[in-house]
Amino acid sequence: MEIINFLQYSFIQRAFVAGVLVAVICSALGLFLVLRKMSLIGDGLSHVSFGAIALGLFFGIYPFYVAIPLVILASILILKISEKAQVYGDAAIGVVSAIGISGGVILAGLSHGFNVDLFSYLFGNILAISNTEVILSALLSIIVMAAIYFFYWDLFSATFDEEYAKTTGIKATFINNLLTVLTAVTVVLSIRMVGVMLVSALLILPAVTALQLSRGFKTAMMIGAAASLLSVILGISFSFFLDLPTGATIVMINVVFFGLAFAYKKIS
């Protein structure tokens, strides 16, 4: 009975809709990122989001409207720094990440007023998600899913063997840029759910869970999506009934799934 009541709350319904969409795109993109050793780009871009959200709050603009374009720009900047400045990708992520965090903290210091709002983005709260945010999440998730669907084999080939992919006419640079931009959008969407501090976990954990169990890339995509979806559904439910922070609960369930997958692989 309590479960039925729980599902009737509109804030729970909104949380499930946004959570499920974000879970699916995080798991799909995460698999490509993990296999390309780009896992920490999620972390770096979430730090940029922090700065961008601070900028939005500083100028009184809805934070996501500032965060989405700025984080996309930051993702391109990461690629350009590693290409043009002959800096390794992880160092480029570090540079852009530092700009985001320090910019956010400076703006928070200058504002003297929105610290509480800004710091609520550090840990997220999917239960407080608004209708506008659900619609925005749905639209952007559909765009990300469509891009993955249409470029699935290009992404697959360029991730498996980039050099060979180029010899089959695949524009690897375009595919790399596309993946980074899609990641930027996904990171911004995920911040409402788990916050700046835990975004990269949503990208990494379902992927590493899937890689423990999968036999084939398509299977890996499905296992990753299932683990991600379940952790969001269970995370929202547990956090409601046990009065726990939602984002951290979702991430801890993802960790449990990874532990189980790892143990299963070792036993079998």
Partner 1 sequence: MSVIIEAKNISVNYGSSEVLKNISFGIEKGDFVGLAGSNGAGKTTLVKALLGLLPLTTGEIELFGENEERFNDWQKIGYLPQKFSTINALFPATVEEVIALGLLSTKKFPKRITATDRKKARALMAELGITEQAKKMLSELSGGQQQKVLLGRALISEPEVLIFDEPSTALDPNSRDAFFKLLQTLNQEKGITIILITHDTGYIGKYANKLLYIDRELIYFGKFSEFCADHKMKSYFGEHEQHIICHQHN
Which residues of the chain form contacts with partner 1 (CB under 8 A)? 35-36, 149-154, 156-157, 159-170, 210-211, 214-220
Least Å distance between CB 34 and partner 1? Answer: 8
Residue closer to partner 1, measured from CB, 2 or 163? 163
Residue closer to partner 1, measured from CB, 117 or 162? 162
Amino acid at 67: A
Residue closer to partner 1, measured from CB, 1 or 149? 149
Least Å distance between CB 171 and partner 1? Answer: 10
Amino acid at 141: S
Residue closer to partner 1, measured from CB, 10 or 86? 86
Longest dimension (CA), the chain: 60
Least Å distance between CB 214 and partner 1? Answer: 5
Distance separating alpha carbons of residues 189 and 42, to the nearest angstrom: 12
- Residue 97: alpha-carbon gap to chain centroid: 15
Residue among 234, 243, 168, 210 nearest 19 (CA): 234
Distance separating alpha carbons of residues 60 and 116, to the nearest angstrom: 14
Least Å distance between CB 192 and partner 1? Answer: 31
Residue among 145, 153, 156 nearest 32 (CA): 156
Least Å distance between CB 137 and partner 1? Answer: 24
Residue closer to partner 1, measured from CB, 65 or 174? 174
Joined together, the tokens standing for residue 63 give: 């934070």
Amino acid at 32: F
